[in-house]
Amino acid sequence: MFDKMLSEMEFNRFGWIAIILLVVGCLGGLTVGMGALQSTFALIVILIPTMMTLSFLLSVAPMKWIAVSTLVTVSVDLLFFGYYLAT
């Protein structure tokens, strides 16, 4: 199933790049704005996967790398976003 999704993503690469750029960029910015500026550790944990995903998009890396890094980035961002929302 993941391979079928990757082949579809590769076919519609530029559309997916726009969607991923919007989601990762906005979610990372919201998470940092919610409270990660007060913790250096949280800022580093959020920014490294976000910048890695954006670098993969910029370098036109294989869609498999982009998809995996996007899943990791969104997971980390949502985890921290939920934490900051709860506190």
Residue-wise pLDDT tens digits, 17-44: 999 999 999 999 999 998 888 889 999 9
What is the model's pLDDT at position 51? 93
| Cβ proximity of 86 and 52 under 8 Å | no
Q: Where are the domains of the chain?
A: 40-87
Using a pLDDT cut of 90, give the percent of the chain over it: 68
Q: Is the pLDDT of residue 56 over 90?
A: yes
Residue where the block lists tokens 């929302």? 85
Q: Give the residue among 44, 42, 50, 63 at the shortest CA–CA distance from 22.
A: 50
pTM above 0.85, yes or no: yes
Q: Once rounded to an integer, what is the mean pLDDT over residues 47-60?
A: 93
